[in-house]
Amino acid sequence: MLSIGAIQGQSKRFVEKQKSIAKDMVEKRHKSTQVMVDKVFSFAELGFHEVESSSYLTSILEEAGFEIMYGISNIPTAWFAKWSNGKGPTIALGSDVDCIPKASQYPGVAYHKPIVEGAPGHGEGHNSGLPLNITAALVVKELMEKNNLGGTLVLWPGIAEELVASKAWFVRDGYFDDIDMCIFTHVSSNLDVSWGQSRGTGLISVEYSFEGESAHSAGSPWRGRSALDAAELMNIGWNYKREHLHPLKRSHSIFTKSGDQPNVVPSEASIWFYLRDVNYDGIMDMYEDANNIAEAAAKMTDTKMTSRIVGTAWPRHFNKVIAETMFENIKNVGLPQWSEEDQQLAKAVQLEVNSKNNDGLATTLSPLGAPAKTPISGGSDDIGDISWKVPTVTLRFPSNIPGLQGHHWSNAIAMATPIAHKGATAGAKVVAMTVLDFLYKPVLVDQAKDYFLNVQSKEETYRPMISESDPPPVELNTQIMREFKPKLSPFYFDETKYDTYLEQLGITYPTVKKD
């Protein structure tokens, strides 16, 4: 008779064997991963306008037998794709898909060269995560069918992540109610994962609008009440406030409406703020201060103020059990083998943007990320809301060049080159292997939930920043996409005619400055 230890040992060997098969299957799908990465890169769609990207990616999932819900949370480009093989854990795989304004850029070219001048582009690298997840999911699905392994896979897109304007809505509307855990993937320049409070902030995104009265600016200015004066005074008020903000807080604003022409007193003006801090209470304190300053600005100008929440993101907290399990697979997979051309491109781009990092692409793995002793400020991601709803981690995968400034054309250069393709394949291996770990060992799911309930949730309780009725701001970016979509569409990647997007664009890889 076999001892318990021997049975577990045998089953561990079987699981490891299946994971190694999955790794090989992902490698065999490298070509289809490349096509998906290139294709989404070429669509270059801003938040809430991921029309081509969503229709292309869901068509692949639909063909593979996933059931798709379209237009979830009243967001036309949002979707939930589900495939079940019976009883077992429900694991969600998510990643963002939108791009960055004015980041249009030829891939593989180590200096600024827009495909379409002024157009949006993948200057954040969100074209790579869903292709990675799809490759991983299709491999796991095949193995689940072959081995009669129970469980459910859910794939979902982070719509309008750059506006942090979809994930809190998905949580509010119940799409994560029946999910056991979530693996999120995000482009980076190494292959890593962390647990605990992530570095960076959460935020509330609020637009303040002022309404005054127009008048002839020269003929009868005393009859006008300027909404622009109110918006400017609010900005000035906030800039005085800024001196007294804790250094972990971050805030920034743009004017979204400022009048039509100088000889008409502006009757409408709006200013849009991102208010960030490392914890929920800090974010809400800033929100209250901003509301007070907005009201005061309205009083000073005898105008009327209204505000609306445009986006929210909770500070992120990642699951220890999922991160530790995933990290074993990261060590197994390792970083991609970079070619001389990959390194040449990376170093040329680092030089071009005066990066302090001039070592090219990463060649050693980062350690498992543990919580920092004191919080570290920085960017936000609305995956935070999901990380407070279900046990979640973010796998960061090496599809981009280290040391770039972010949200910039330089961050698009690698994103349809072998660097992005290899990084996505490495990430897909880790995701597929980690999903198999949790499907084969549901006790790990229980442990992840135990951490979520008894460690993470002891620290903080999730309170949504949006109300039951706040609508997602789906009208944003409409004008920009109306202008640029017709100019970008001739450049969409045609995989039936070309092997790669670089080939279609006629780019020698890499293209770097002569000296």
**Residues lying near Zn ion in the complex (CB under 5 A):** 124
Joined tokens for residue 111: 């200096």
CB of 138 to Zn ion, least distance (A): 24
CB of 407 to Zn ion, least distance (A): 9
Cα distance between residue 262 and residue 215, in whole Å: 11
Q: Is 46 helix (H, G, I), strand (E, B) or coil?
A: coil
Helix, strand, coil in percent for the chain, rounding step 5: 45, 20, 40
- For Zn ion, the closer CB: 45 or 232: 45
Residues with Cβ within 8 Å of 35's Cβ and at least 6 positions away in sequence, in order, are 493, 495
Joined tokens for residue 371: 């919580």
Cα distance between residue 173 and residue 155, in whole Å: 17
- For Zn ion, the closer CB: 326 or 383: 383
Residue, CB closest to Zn ion: 124
CB of 268 to Zn ion, least distance (A): 32
- For Zn ion, the closer CB: 101 or 442: 101
CB of 161 to Zn ion, least distance (A): 5
- For Zn ion, the closer CB: 37 or 448: 37
- For Zn ion, the closer CB: 164 or 346: 164
CB of 190 to Zn ion, least distance (A): 15
Cα distance between residue 262 and residue 217, in whole Å: 7
Residue 298: alpha-carbon gap to chain centroid: 35
CB of 385 to Zn ion, least distance (A): 15
- For Zn ion, the closer CB: 108 or 200: 200
- For Zn ion, the closer CB: 225 or 317: 317
- For Zn ion, the closer CB: 19 or 122: 122
Three-point CA angle 379, 384, 390, nearest 5°: 160
Which DSSP helix (H) or strand (E) runs through 343?
helix 340-352
Each residue of 348-375: b (16+ CB within 10 Å) or e?
A: bbbebbebeeeebbbeebbebbeeeeeb
Cα distance between residue 496 and residue 249, in whole Å: 49
Q: Residues 392, 94: contact at Cβ < 8 Å?
A: no
CB of 419 to Zn ion, least distance (A): 17
- For Zn ion, the closer CB: 188 or 319: 188
CB of 9 to Zn ion, least distance (A): 41
Phi, psi of 5 (to 5 degrees): -55, -40
- For Zn ion, the closer CB: 88 or 94: 94
CB of 201 to Zn ion, least distance (A): 14
DSSP per position, 47-68 = TT--HHHHHHHHHHHHHTT-EE
CB of 129 to Zn ion, least distance (A): 8
Joined tokens for residue 39: 């294709």
Which DSSP helix (H) or strand (E) runs through 395?
strand 392-398
